[in-house]
């Protein structure tokens, strides 16, 4: 491989997203091509789903199920076999509909009797009123036929996924595939055991797709980017197939999961599958690695890269300490090679912001690298993807936007920043308007006072359709403790300004933060109720706080009134760390109430109800005045 051009293939392993490509390979492929490297990319996550959810795939499922005669079938599997011919007849047209290639099928899907209906359709019963009316009228009305059909078609795919999970591969998920094998998994043993097991239908299908990709591209190096724990198992399966087929191919593992969970990697068995494991932004490590493989630099010249030490056989982190490629110089992502017309626009959750995540094909782009705030105590502020803040000019960003639109024909953009900086958003909006570039865009921000009514309107004029931001615990005491830099009343005013500009607002919400009491939780829900009732936010999601070893809470727990539990022994992944909170609150029970309340608030239900009614047991009265948000909005 020395002194000869290296062919690089970047792969997206199952599972990431089905409606749009995960952007890591697009970023790396665009960057490598800008440096005259022959680089290609494939989305094996999408390819796997399209192969399984096809006539051929369904026939293979039935064949495998029927060979398990001694095994009792679940009700879902029995229904699948009973209605198999209907599944076989409807799978191809339904996939074509979800890909946007046959919109007229919506009439048949909505008319009933076309799709076989498994247990996932039972959820519709919850929406039927006492008179047996239309179960989805509240969500789609009389004219929302395309959306209604997309939701029903998504339930149909989920029914088939349940069959795969119950009869073929118990780990199968559209997003969190085999997640438990990798998430904060200190021991490599569970993953090793799974990889040593005989291939099931899903594994065999992925193996065949991997070999097909090798045959088409003949790469010298394969990059596998694993953003989530739910893509780790499949990435190792892909590497296993490649090693068996052609051991000369160099395999490189990187991505968000590696950057957070494998920073202290000491598990030699990882290198039975991968030759190199890189940390943080991939551009500089890859350039150094390509130089090394072509004989232009020694092994000691690698950057933030784990290798297997030749003497001890254990992982060795090599870092020559070279500066990262500046964000302004990383080039323009390219989606060349990805089948953009084959992605599936799903509609699984009736939540306005979740719909944006799963429906439609969005060009993903970053306005700035890292976070300009980088103070939040729950966040991985010590790691490169947060701590290294760099920007490009508005002119460069719009150049990239125009190039991407020209390549993909798509004008929708999801800005995937940790928190898009207000100054850059303002400059970007002005440049888009100056050049008369028409796009639709959404992204993540901090609800800070820089977002004035005038700036919110400017962003809307430039194409902003939605924003999301962290309200987190909705408690001024806890917001101060977590160094969020905002107050609840400030969030109310900013979100109201976005709403008045016609921009959808989604709030990230958190519970279980250190020292959060039941009273804090009840008060937070009261704030959230008022924000919905006042029209400040239209969408939200509560998630449970998780302490990570890279966050200020994980590094200085005493400052937050908690005590960390020892990490389990092991040489593989470490990220989440359990802790003891002296309040002793059972947050799992409270979380159920919070999510139930939030679901109803998003649909305009219970906005005048005492928030205590959502909790199963006795909870204290809210200390928050019932008109505090209204007063905050009127005090400007």
> Which of helix, strand or coil describes residue 355?
helix
Same domain, 461 and 603: yes
- The Cα–Cα gap between 250 and 375 comes to 38
Q: For residue 165, is pLDDT > 90? A: yes
Same domain, 251 and 383: no
Which pLDDT does position 138 carry in this prediction? 53
Q: Identify the band that residue 136 occupies on the pLDDT scale cut at 50, 70 and 90.
A: low
Q: Identify the band that residue 527 occupies on the pLDDT scale cut at 50, 70 and 90.
A: very high
Place of tokens 């607002």: 505
Cα–chain-centroid distance for residue 399? Answer: 26
Which pLDDT does position 356 carry in this prediction? 84
CB 293 within 8 A of CB 301: no
Q: H or E segment at 84? A: helix 84-98
CB 37 within 8 A of CB 334: no
Which pLDDT does position 611 carry in this prediction? 97
- The Cα–Cα gap between 187 and 192 comes to 9
- The Cα–Cα gap between 195 and 236 comes to 8
Closest CA to 576 of 585, 587, 586, 567: 567
Q: Identify the band that residue 350 occupies on the pLDDT scale cut at 50, 70 and 90.
A: low
Least confident of 108-117, 133-142, 362-371: 133-142
Q: How large is the average pLDDT for residues 392-410?
A: 97
Number of compact structural domains in the chain: 2
Which pLDDT does position 68 carry in this prediction? 81
Same domain, 34 and 148: yes
Residues constituting the chain: 636
Domain boundary among 303, 322, 340: 340
Give pLDDT tens digits for 434-464: 999 999 999 999 999 999 999 999 999 999 9
Give pLDDT tens digits for 483-515: 999 999 999 999 999 999 999 999 999 999 999
Same domain, 336 and 409: no
Same domain, 336 and 356: no
CB 548 within 8 A of CB 376: no
Same domain, 251 and 321: yes
Instruction: Using DSSP bridges, classify how beta strands 390-391 and 368-369 pair: parallel, antiparallel or unpaired.
Output: antiparallel
Q: For residue 125, is pLDDT > 80? A: no
Domain boundary among 279, 310, 340: 340
pTM of the entire structure? Answer: 0.93
Of all residues in the chain, what percent carry a pLDDT higher than 90? 88
Same domain, 78 and 208: yes
Same domain, 331 and 369: no
- The Cα–Cα gap between 159 and 166 comes to 11
Which pLDDT does position 184 carry in this prediction? 87
Domain boundary among 317, 340, 363: 340
Q: For residue 2, is pLDDT > 80? A: no
Q: How large is the average pLDDT for residues 240-254?
A: 98
- The Cα–Cα gap between 199 and 416 comes to 36
Rg of the chain in Å (alpha carbons)? 25
Same domain, 194 and 302: yes
Place of tokens 């079938």: 73
Same domain, 302 and 327: yes
The CATH number that applies at residue 619 is 3.80.30.20
Residue 190: asked if its preceding bond is cis (omega within 30°), the reply is no
User: Which residues constitute the domain of residue 491?
Assistant: 349-634
Give pLDDT tens digits for 582-606: 999 999 999 999 999 999 999 899 9
Please state, in angstroms and as integers, the Cα–Cα distance from residue 392 to each residue in 330, 368, 387, following that order.
10, 7, 16
Same domain, 318 and 409: no
Which pLDDT does position 616 carry in this prediction? 84
| Mean pLDDT value across the chain | 93
Which pLDDT does position 122 carry in this prediction? 84
Closest CA to 201 of 90, 72, 71, 58: 58
Of all residues in the chain, what percent carry a pLDDT higher than 70? 96
Same domain, 51 and 186: yes
Higher pLDDT, 38 or 2: 38
Which pLDDT does position 634 carry in this prediction? 87
Q: What tokens were used for 634?
A: 């009127």
Q: What tokens were used for 442?
A: 């959404």
């Amino acid at each position: 491989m020395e002194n000869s051009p290296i062919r690089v293939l970047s792969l997206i392993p199952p599972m990431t997203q089905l409606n749009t490509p995960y952007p890591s390979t697009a970023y790396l492929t665009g960057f490598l091509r800008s440096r005259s490297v022959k680089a290609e990319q494939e989305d094996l996550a999408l390819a796997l789903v399209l192969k399984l959810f096809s006539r051929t795939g369904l026939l293979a499922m039935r064949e495998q199920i029927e060979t398990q005669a001694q095994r009792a079938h679940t009700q879902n599997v029995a229904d699948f076999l009973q209605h198999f011919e209907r599944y076989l007849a409807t799978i191809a047209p339904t996939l074509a509909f979800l890909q946007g290639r046959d919109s007229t099928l919506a009439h048949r899907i909505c008319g009933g009797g076309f799709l076989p209906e498994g247990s996932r359709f039972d959820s519709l019963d919850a929406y039927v009123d006492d008179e047996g009316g239309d179960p989805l009228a509240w969500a789609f009305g009389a004219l929302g036929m395309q959306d209604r059909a997309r939701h029903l078609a998504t339930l149909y795919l989920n029914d088939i996924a349940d069959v795969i999970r119950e009869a073929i591969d118990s780990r199968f998920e559209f997003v969190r595939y085999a997640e438990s094998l990798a998430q904060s998994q200190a021991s490599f043993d569970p993953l090793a055991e799974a990889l040593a097991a005989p291939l099931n239908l899903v594994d065999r299908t992925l193996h065949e797709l991997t070999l097909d990709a090798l045959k088409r591209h003949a790469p010298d190096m394969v990059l596998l980017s694993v953003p989530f724990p739910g893509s780790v198992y499949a990435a190792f399966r892909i590497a296993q197939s490649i090693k068996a087929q052609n051991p000369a191919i160099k395999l490189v593992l990187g991505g968000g999961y590696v950057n957070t969970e494998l920073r202290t990697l000491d598990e030699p068995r990882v290198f039975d599958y991968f030759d190199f494991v890189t940390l943080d932004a991939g551009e500089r490590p890859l350039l150094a690695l390509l130089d090394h493989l072509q004989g232009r630099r020694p092994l000691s010249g690698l950057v933030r890269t784990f290798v297997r030490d030749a003497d001890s056989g254990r992982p060795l982190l090599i870092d020559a300490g070279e500066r990262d490629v500046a964000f302004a110089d990383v080039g323009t992502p390219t989606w060349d090679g990805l089948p953009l017309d084959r992605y599936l626009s799903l509609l699984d959750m009736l939540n306005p912001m979740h719909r944006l995540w799963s429906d439609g094909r969005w060009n993903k782009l970053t306005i700035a690298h890292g976070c300009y705030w980088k103070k939040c105590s729950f966040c991985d502020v010590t790691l490169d993807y947060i701590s290294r803040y760099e920007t490009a000019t508005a002119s460069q960003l719009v150049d990239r936007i125009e190039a991407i639109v020209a390549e993909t024909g798509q004008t929708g953009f999801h800005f995937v920043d940790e928190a898009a900086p207000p100054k850059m958003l303002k400059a970007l909006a002005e440049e888009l308007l100056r050049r008369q570039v028409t796009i639709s865009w959404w992204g993540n921000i901090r609800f800070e006072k820089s977002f004035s009514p005038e700036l919110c309107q400017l962003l809307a004029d430039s194409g902003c359709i939605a924003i999301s931001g962290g309200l987190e615990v909705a408690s001024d005491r806890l917001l101060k403790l977590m160094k969020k830099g905002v107050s609840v009343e400030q969030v109310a005013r900013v979100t109201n300004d976005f709403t008045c500009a016609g921009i959808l607002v989604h709030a990230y919400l958190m519970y279980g933060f250190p020292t959060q009491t039941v009273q804090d939780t009840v008060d937070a829900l009261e704030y959230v109720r008022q924000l919905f009732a006042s029209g400040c936010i239209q969408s939200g999601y509560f998630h449970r706080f998780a302490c990570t070893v890279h966050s200020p809470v994980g590094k200085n727990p005493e400052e937050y009134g908690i005590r960390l539990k020892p990490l389990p022994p092991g040489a593989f992944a470490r990220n989440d760390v359990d802790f003891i909170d002296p309040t002793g609150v059972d947050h799992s029970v409270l979380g159920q109430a919070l999510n139930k309340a939030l679901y109803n608030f998003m649909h305009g239900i219970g906005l005048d109800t005492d928030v205590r009614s959502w909790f199963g047991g006795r909870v204290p009265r809210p200390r928050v005045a019932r008109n505090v948000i209204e007063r905050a909005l009127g005090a400007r």
